[in-house]
Structure 1
Amino acid sequence: MTGIETSPGDHTALWPAPTADGAVDATVTVPGSKSVTNRGLILAALAAEPGWLRRPLRSRDTVLMADALRAMGVGIEETVSDGAFGAGGSGGGEAWRVIPAGLHGPATIDVGNAGTVMRFLPPVASLSDGPVRFDGDPRSHERPLHGVIDALRSLGARIDDDGRGALPMTVHGGGALDGGPVRIDASSSSQFVSALLLSAPRFNQGVEVRHVGSALPSLPHIRMTVDMLRAAGARVDTPEAGGEPGVWRVAPSALLGRDLVVEPDLSNAAPFLAAALVTGGRVTIPDWPEHTTQPGDALRQIFTDMGGSCELTDAGLTFTGTGRITGIDADLHEVGELTPVIAAVAALADSESVLRGIAHLRLHETDRLAALTKEINELGGDVAETEDGLRINPRPLHGGIFHTYEDHRLATAAAVLGLTVEGVQIENVATTAKTLPDFPGLWTGMLDAAPSAARGA
């Protein structure tokens, strides 16, 4: 694949966040879901026949996933459809044809700082014929991976990580994996569970994953994994379907090659919906699904509770702000990735907010709780970390540099603040390419569509 920058961007560049002169009024086409695209790529690569991904997201994380699968022998061809899938998609009518092949090494995989790549692919590599080495950005070496490593070892895989439980490491694929029952603590990342489930149909015995830690974060992402496995023909037993609590079972089976249309990334819609809320305007996101497992769907209720209203029609989701932002007390345990933008909105509200259940965000692309506290406070805010979240007391804010720590969601949160706070400069806005290509262009385009032009774009 070509046409996308796969480095985190210029760490020193500063982007003046545009300030809105009035209420925004725009339609914003959000590219496809990263979570769906990367799960779809893996399931297609492990299928018994070729498949398609239509409207895939083309971003740093998904290009890294595709390149990694290619390195292990999977064919991924880019095509352009006849336009039937163009509305709301990334790259117009773009589609990727995935051609499964015998997985092989030696191969070297760059995971960047993508949790889906560093955690979902080691089980795939265990099925390869030969060694597969994993490495990535410096931050990737600090992110938890022990759950996947320990689980794979207990299932029969051989992994060299020098005892770190983290990257860099080498998976010595033996062409197959026995599978069977495994106990893991996935309280630091639900991706540990999804990683094992996605490859489980190809394990000789399938897998029984038993979570033995404290409450799992981001359960909607596990539900997404399960739904996509079932759509590909896998047999999955889950706690929600009457199974044992905290246990997921996947039977060994062949996977179907699907023709998958990727939904818009609803979590990436967060800053645009927030723009309607903080400016008292209106933003429409086309192709918002009526039913979805994406955590971003929770934005409809969360932002309504903070003072707006929404309407879901055949045209998409239209969110309207009232000009007033109300603080909230919310448990975001299942939708933690939405926290940065919600925190930015809360910093502009008229009353205190308490965001709870998100201690696991300390282990994401950066320590998101510490970063949000530091950066909002340096603009004049009053944010305090709690044991499992943030307490935000709105204060008048002023301009300044907002550091992003190579975290795409910190950058989009800063852009929301910049709508009403003049002089906000975002360090390394290019890091948004991790999941949202050309965010600056989408952002300024939204503001240019409003009756009043934006300053500072």
Structure 2
Amino acid sequence: MAVIRRAYPPRSGADYPTTDIVVRSWPGDGVDGHRRRTRRPRGRRPTPRTRRRSVGRTTPVLGETDAVPSLADDLPDVLAVPTVPAAPDVTVRPPGSKSITNRALLCAALADGRSRLSGALFADDTRAMIGAVAALGATVTADEPSRELTVTGIDPRRAAAVAAVDARQSGTTSRFVLPVAALRPGRTTVDGAAQLRARPMGPLLDALRQLGAQVQEGTDQGHLPVTVSGPLRGGPARLPGHLSSQFLSGLLMAGPLMRDGLAVELTSPLVSVPYVTMTTAVMAAFGVTVDGLRTAPGRYSATDYAIEPDASAASYFLAAAAITGGRITVDGLGTDSVQGDVAFADLLARMGARVERTARRLTVTGTGSLRGIDVDMADISDTAQTLAAVAVFADSPTRVRGIGFIRRKETDRIAAVVTELRRAGIDAVEDDDGFTIHPGPPAPTRFASYDDHRMAMSLSLLGLRVPGIEIADPRCVAKTYPGFFTDLATLTSR
């Protein structure tokens, strides 16, 4: 165990303090196990990013001996995905839920006492949240081999020092931390990578102003970097719901520490409702009850909290079963899950797969026949790209609706998935609020990943049935699932 003193480089003139993060590392991971990224130039990237291949490097094949490293950092510039030799029959357990890990980290950081989080995810997005709560004054001890985090909380309302948060590429970190940072009397600057700077923050900043925060924006209004300070008096706030549920979740988690509590009024329909349900469930585990969209003044209580596997990550393996005609069981997810994305299995059932559930297990068996469906995925939009991969192998078109807001994620996910499937010869159509996929045999293709973890993981599924599928920049999976390609290799090595 070691104490890492990490000084983040300043951005936009902000004074970034040194923060203490206690980390127990994986052997061979370097000092702290963090993924090392090169900071990219500012600005928005309109085209997919493909890394320049190293001289003399050939494209390795997933599943070959020594070809698939255990860490995303060690993946090659381009990764070939082999077809499955036979229908897989395996049980997998994806890493802990990113969404739950980041919510639990923040609630634990606001709690009175010490909390222990088991089953936590260690990936770029959760490391961003670890760094954020540490920058705000919480103490975090991370035991990666045991997948455990120990957090000693603080009361941000007593913090007068200047602070700074580097949210990296993490939307949850930036949007959850901003309301908490606005509780602090001291000024806090929140910034992130170029990709995160392109994502909208305006509705959240407007709500914070309504609640009494001082908000200083940069030259790109409604985007990071942003400097905030409190105190927040709380009370009523109006917020649009159609852009992202993360704005609401961030406000709700900060609500108990506002002087007058919080009462949010939505001015447009809420998307990704299950994620807000997840937020209130995590808050309840730490002793805070949400009444509708209201929170009364109060404090969080420290607790031991078990984090279940990530349902969005599980969708790739459930889809793989449907695509290959195999049988794949996800351990740790079932009818007791608090994650809305477990409903992805229902869509596979509608398409023709067989689905079995217990309280803690979810099994999908491919039947060899898939049919297209028409579906609104507004509540489970993180699995839309996964469904697009399955739709390629159906016997009729699939129409996905209600997900226009995913154009403002890591990339424009509607345009990106349509562009890449067309590259493979698939008749894919971009709609205002989603896409339509006409099935057909994909051609051998090197897919661009757009620095978007979900693009890389979902498009790799085509390679399980079609030879010649390659993924450019597979390292982007480090954002939420560093070991994805290692786990996927269990399907192709049998």
Q: TM-score, structure 1 length as denominator?
A: 0.90
What is the letter of the counterpart of residue 469 of structure 2?
V
Instruction: Give the corresponding residue for 1:82.
Output: none
Counterparts of 1:39 and 1:73, CA distance in 2: 17
Q: Which residue of 2 aligns with 1:5?
A: 35
User: Secondary structure at 1:292's aligned position in 2?
Assistant: coil
Task: Name the structure 1 match of 2:196.
Answer: 140
Q: What residue is the counterpart of 2:150 in the other structure? A: 97
Which residue in 1 is equivalent to 2:276? Answer: 222
Contact 1:17 1:415 in 2 (8 A): yes
- How far apart, CA to CA, are the structure 1 residues paired with 2:433 and 2:155? 44
Q: Which whole-Å deviations, capped at 9, do the CAs of 1:29-85 have from their partners, x for residues lacking one? A: 211000100000111111122111111011100000001111111001124xxxxxx
The 1:340/1:6 distance shift into structure 2, 3 A limit, reads farther
Judge conservation of contact 1:6–1:60 (CA < 8 Å) in 2.
Answer: no
Residue range with higher mean Cα deviation, 158-167 or 10-19: 10-19
Corresponding residue for residue 242 of structure 1: none
Aligned pairs (5 A) from 1:83-122? 91=144, 93-103=146-156, 104=159, 105-122=161-178
Against the structure 1 CA distance between its residues 27 and 4, is the aligned structure 2 distance closer, same or farther, given a 3 Å change threshold?
Answer: farther
- Indicate yes or no: 2:346 matched with 1:301: yes
Percent identity reads 37
**2:246 maps to which residue?**
191
Q: Give the gaps of 5 or more residues in structure 1.
A: 80-90, 239-247, 451-457
Residue in 1 aligned with 2:445? 400
Find the partner of 2:101 among 33, 37, 49. Answer: 37
Q: Is the contact made by 2:121 and 2:147 (CA closer than 8 Å) also made in structure 1?
A: no
Q: Does 1:212 align with 2:267?
A: yes
Task: Find the aligned partners of 1:165 and 1:28 in 2 and give their Cα distance.
Answer: 41
Counterpart residue number, 2:180: 124
Match of 1:166 among 223, 235, 245: 223
Question: Which residue of the partner structure matches residue 309 of structure 2?
Answer: 264
Instruction: Give the distance between the partners of 1:314 and 1:157, measured in 2 at CA.
Output: 43
1:10, distance to aligned residue in structure 2 (A): 7.8
Alignment partner, residue 200 of structure 1: 255
What is aligned with 2:61? none
Aligned to 1:84: none
Partner of 1:410: 455
Partner of 2:333, secondary structure, is: coil
Contiguous gaps of at least 5 residues in structure 2: 1-22, 24-31, 39-48, 53-76
Give the Å deviation of 1:108: 2.2
Q: CA RMSD in A?
A: 1.7
Does structure 2 conserve the Cα–Cα contact (< 8 Å) formed by 1:45 and 1:100?
A: yes
Return 150-159 or 126-135, whichever deviates more.
126-135
Instruction: Classify the secondary structure of the residue corresponding to 1:417.
Output: helix
Do structure 1's residue 155 and structure 2's residue 211 form an aligned pair?
A: yes
Question: Whose RCO is larger (CA < 8 A, sep 6+)?
Answer: 1
Counterpart position of 1:273 = 318
Q: CA deviation at 1:341?
A: 0.6
**Alignment correspondent of 1:316:** 361
Residues 249-289 of structure 1: CA deviation (Å, up to 9, x unaligned):
11011111111000110110011111111110011111113
Counterpart contact for 1:18–1:415, Cα < 8 Å: no
Is the 8 Å Cα contact of residues 180 and 208 (structure 1) preserved in structure 2? yes
